[in-house]
Amino acid sequence: MKIPLVGQPNSGKSTLFNAVAGFRSLTSNFAGTTVEYTRGQARVDGELLDLIDLPGIYSLAACTAVEKVTRDFLLNDDWDVIVNVVDASQLARSLELTLELLDLESPLVICLNMMDEASRKGMTIDAHELQMALGVPVVEAIGSRGRGIIETFRAAREYAARGGRARPFVYAPEAERLLAELAEKIAAHTNAQPQGALKTALAPVEDTEWNTQSGVEPVFTPPLRVHSCGGGHLCAGCSMGTPAVKAGHDAPLRSWAVVSPAVAADHEQHRYAESALAGLAVLPGQSSITLPASAARNFPRDRFQAMQWVQCDPLQIRGERPEIAEDVEWAQKSISAHSGLPADAAISAARHAACLSVFERVTRLARPSVDWREKIDRVAMHPVWGYVLLLTVFLGFFQLIFNVGKPAEDRILNLFDGVVAALARHMNPHAAVFAGVKGAVLGTAGALAMVLPYLLPFLAGLAILEDFGYLARAGYLMDAVMHRLGLHGTATLPILVGYGCSVPAVMATRLLTTRRDRFIAAFLAVLVPCSARMSVIFALVGFYLSANYALGIYALNLLVVAATGNLLARLWPEVSPGMLMEVPSYRLPAARVVALKTWWRLREFVLVAAPMLVAGSVVLSLVDYYGWSHGINVGLSPLTAMLGLPRSVGLTLIFGVLRKELSLMMLMQALGTTHVLGVMTDAQILIFTLFVTFYLPCMATLAAMMREVGWRLTLGASSALLVLAVVVCLGARGVLALV
Amino acid sequence: MRPITDLTPNLSLYEAEDSADLRILLITGGWQVRRSFNQMGIQTGDRVRVLRRAPFGGPVVIDNQGSQVAIGKQLAEKVQVEILP
């Protein structure tokens, strides 16, 4: 049985998944994208369940790549029952996605997770009442303590086995008629037969089957009615006189009446009365409209798609499905005409009102208890102490990684040097084969020396900060700064991570929604000196010149980052409207989730970057063997001459692309001495270091970038970085000449 | 429906004072702005409260039905609110 897990970000989906699916789960990408999901298997009551942990989304609208693939997965793939994981402490907001899922009219079970957090917030949620309101099974859970998890999957199994199925919230008849008509038109264009998962759901459903599905307890209770009268008075028919709905009445909006699934025939009349009140009066001459739901019910996928398209941006529709654009726009106009709102706003307002009234029906609120979480935020989000803490946390973090990583790295490299020495004894050290093998061994050593000492603690630490909820606070604090760079607070993470290692930094740009933001963030993240470049800066400039010069390079780098960000933001003006980010509650990270997260990201590095490192190392080893280094130095001589560097450093710059700190080691080798000052002047050391800091990112980073933003932009970024490095170095040369 | 003149004077969410009870009257801006707010469960008619704000024109954090959302300056300025008594 295949069970997709769908939920909003931070709903504890992964905790639930990892609690049962275990370490053997696989991450995969959706075909042709970098959006990931995780698959795993779990045995519940003797049956093997296939679990699919879909990425967290706030809605099914296809705005971002993540939402699009999730929606397409739900529409096109085969699965048996959805488990919708809901953060009980965010119930009102979470229900928005739940209501969209109901529209799929397929088997659905709700896992009401984080009940402990909800009660800490002073919320008492009546799960039974929620089950009544939504018409699908609701299971209470505290995922972090393993409670309710098995029960959730058991309920899902049973619900699917007995043929249970969610019913959508039904909009006012006028709206439903429009939707059904649009669905038909879209279907005619697509001319596709219903397929996939929903095949089972497509057979006409008899209401009798529906009402007696469990045989014991009717899942549905009286219909939920939200109506918006549009008039200033409180209408007598409004049984939902809750504050939220009243607020809706007062506000200048007229949303559609929404009625719950169970409505069926007996409430037909009431609904007509309501829709009239709602300003959705049945059009003259069409007073005999019958409920079109029968058609819609037979083709839930079509109704669902019609619903989704109606909420889309007309421009997007014209781009993606030009053949249906006209029909959708017609429907949108009709909806606007009836509701006085843009089509998407009308639908989401109606849905929102429904969410709030379900929320108010099932929840009782008391005073929240103030505990350590609130106290942390008083410091962590404070206008002064927040920044002090941010700086402390990240400096401490990098310090820790560097102190742990450096000795470990030396040991790994020594170990592999031993391997090469041993190989030299058993092979002909003058053969090309040996050069190749040596290159491969040293490449592997390089990859390992990067992964184990630096990347592993780095990714683990990052996963802890992320799961704890601190990264969101960092984004909040840095939003204003990031705006100067043409980005938002969400882009803080990649840039901070860039100071550690560019590879995870580039991978972290995946959090950003638009391609533009991803590109700018990745560009700036690789511009920031990573820890490998830091070692070059401190070992050359810091050692031979002074620590102040080294810090000066960092300051110069910050200026260049700011200027570049500003320039890029101008060249590629912003389309996204700004930061809108959930501030999650602090949560103690679960060791298991952190371990898995770290492992998956590490695995990705190994798959993407390590092959490049090994291959590059082999090539360079052969270059060395065949004595092409002279040719390369000559080839690069225009560059080295322009920068006023000795010709023999040309090759070290090529090595630097493989791994940044290699340019340091190779420099000593190329110059044939460890006393760099004897061969290079202060100015040359400074220029060389500046160039290494700014020019091309290392190969592993390039591979990661290629994956995230595509090869065109990677190529563009690389050329831009090369030009930038030359410009910076020439500028520095000019300044030095003056001094 | 209340007369439209009640909407004036305009007060944006960004300008509203901290911890006052507010009601969202209107979300201006295009499809994408509306969409992003709707996704986070923020709609016209909702009662919200500004909890804190970041310095240098940074975002404001609001509380909406128990969920905290950070809203950047540009977006917060697109939300018109009234102060509830």
Paired residues of A6 in beta bridges: A84
End-to-end alpha carbon distance in chain B = 20
**Interchain contact B40–A (C-beta under 8 A):** yes
Measured CA to CA, the distance from residue A437 to residue A582 in angstroms comes to: 51
Residue of B nearest to A513 (CA): B36
Q: Does B3 touch chain A (CB under 8 A)?
A: no
For residue B81, the chain A residues in CB contact (below 8 A) are none
Listed in sequence order, the residues at least 6 apart from A389 whose beta carbon sits closer than 8 Å to its beta carbon are A379, A380
Q: Which CATH architecture has domain A2-166?
A: 3-Layer(aba) Sandwich (3.40)
Residues of B in contact with A89 (CB under 8 A): 66-67
Helix pair A610-625, A650-658: axis angle to 10 deg: 150
Q: How many Å lie between the alpha carbon of B83 and the closest alpha carbon of chain A? A: 13
In sequence order, the 6+-apart residues with CB closer than 8 A to the CB of A35 are: A29, A55, A65, A66, A69
CA distance A505 to chain B (A): 23
First to last CA, chain A: 74
CA distances from A508 to A598, A720, B59 (A): 13, 21, 22
What residues of chain A score a pLDDT lower than 50? 192-299
Test B56 with A480 for CB contact under 8 angstroms: yes
The torsion angle over the Cα atoms of residues A533, A537, A540 and A542, rounded to 10 degrees, is -150
Number of helices (H), then strands (E), in chain A: 35, 13
Give the distance from CA A738 to its chain's centroid. 49
Please name the helix (run of DSSP H) or strand (run of DSSP E) that holds residue A42, with its range, or none.
strand A36-44
Token digits of residue A468: 């704890």
Q: Which residue out of B28, B44, B78 would a mutagenesis test of the A interface target, given it has the greatest number of A Cβ atoms within 10 Å? A: B44
Query: CA A670, A671, A675, A678: dihedral to nearest 10 degrees?
Result: -160
Tell whether B29 is within 8 A of chain A (Cβ).
yes
pLDDT, one tens digit per residue, over A24-80 is 666 665 655 556 778 888 888 888 888 888 888 888 876 666 777 888 888 888 888
Q: What is the pLDDT of residue A255?
A: 36
CB A413 within 8 A of CB A664: no
| B45·A250 Cβ contact <8 A | yes
Q: Do B59 and A252 touch (CB under 8 A)?
A: no
> Among A120, A479, A576, which would you mutate to test the B interface (most chain B Cβ atoms within 10 Å of its Cβ)?
A479
Are residues A476 and A489 in contact, defined by beta-carbon separation less than 8 angstroms? yes
Who contacts B24 (Cβ-Cβ below 8 Å, separation ≥6)? A251, B13, B42, B43, B44, B45, B46, B48, B79, B80, B81
Contact A476 B25 (CB under 8 A): no
Q: To 10 degrees, the CA torsion angle through A545, A551, A555, A556? A: 20
Q: What is the pLDDT of residues A277-302, one digit of tens each?
A: 233 322 222 222 233 333 333 345 77
Contact B52 A381 (CB under 8 A): yes
Q: Which residues pair with A112 in a beta bridge?
A: A86, A140
Establish whether the linkage from the previous residue to A697 is cis, with ω within 30° of 0: no
Report whether A589 contacts A463 (CB < 8 A).
yes
Collapsed DSSP state (helix, strand, coil) of residue A313: coil
Dihedral (C-alpha) A361, A365, A371, A376: value to the nearest 10 degrees? 70
Question: Rounded to the nearest 10 degrees, what angle do helices A682-694 and A711-738 cross at?
Answer: 160
- Residue A684 corresponds to which amino acid? Q
Residue ranges, comma separated, of all CATH 3.40.50.300 domains in chain A are 2-166
CA distance A533 to A518: 23
Bridge partners, A52 (sequence order): A4, A39
Nearest to B34 among A92, A345, A582 (CB): A345
Across the beta sheet with A47-53, the strand order is A26-29, A36-44, A47-53, A2-7, A82-87, A108-113, A138-140
Rounded to a whole number of angstroms, the distance from the CA of B17 to the nearest CA of chain A is: 16
Q: How many Å apart are CA B59 and CA B70, to the nearest integer?
A: 6
CATH numeric code, B4-83:
2.30.30.90
DSSP string, A290-305: PPTHHHHHH-HHHHHH
B74 touches chain A (CB under 8 A): yes
Residue A18: what residue type? N
Q: A436: closest CA among A164, A625, A205?
A: A625
| Total residue count of chain A as it appears in this document | 739
B20 touches chain A (CB under 8 A): no
Question: A58 to chain B nearest CA, in Å?
Answer: 6
Q: Least CB-CB distance to A93: which of B2, B41, B78?
A: B41
Q: How far apart are CA A482 and CA A485, in angstroms?
A: 5
Per CB-CB distance under 8 Å, the chain A contacts of B31 are 313, 342, 344
Interval B45-63: pLDDT, tens: 888 999 999 988 889 999 9
For residue A153, the model assigns a pLDDT of 92
Residue from the list B43, B54, B55 with its beta carbon closest to the beta carbon of A348: B43
| Chain A: residue whose CA lies nearest to B56 | A480
> β-pairing, A2-7 with A47-53?
parallel
Q: Measured between alpha carbons, how far is A233 from A235 in angstroms, rounded to an integer?
A: 6
Indicate yes or no: CB of B31 within 8 angstroms of CB of A121. Answer: no
For residue B65, which residues of chain A lie inside 8 Å, CB to CB?
92-93, 356, 359
Cβ contact A476–B29 (<8 Å): no
Name the helix (H) or strand (E) containing A490.
none
Cβ pair B39:A63 closer than 8 A: yes
The model's pTM is 0.76
CB A353 within 8 A of CB A244: yes
Q: Which of A93, A359, A476 sits opposite B54 (nearest CB)?
A: A476
How far does the CA of residue B26 sit from the closest CA of chain A (Å)? Answer: 8
Between CA B12 and CA B48 the distance in angstroms is: 12
Contacts of B78 in chain A (CB under 8 A): 577
Pairing relation of β-strands A170-171 and A258-259? Answer: antiparallel
H/E run at residue A65: helix A65-76
Binary contact (A359, B65; C-beta < 8 A): yes
- Residue A51 DSSP one-character state: E
* Distance of alpha carbon A416 from alpha carbon A436, whole angstroms: 15
Work out the minimum CA distance from A353 to partner chain B, whole angstroms. 9
Nearest to A92 among B25, B54, B65 (CB): B65
Asked whether the beta carbons of residue A231 and residue B1 sit closer than 8 angstroms, the reply is yes
Cα A629 to chain centroid distance, Å, stands at 44
Q: What is the pLDDT of residue A673?
A: 65
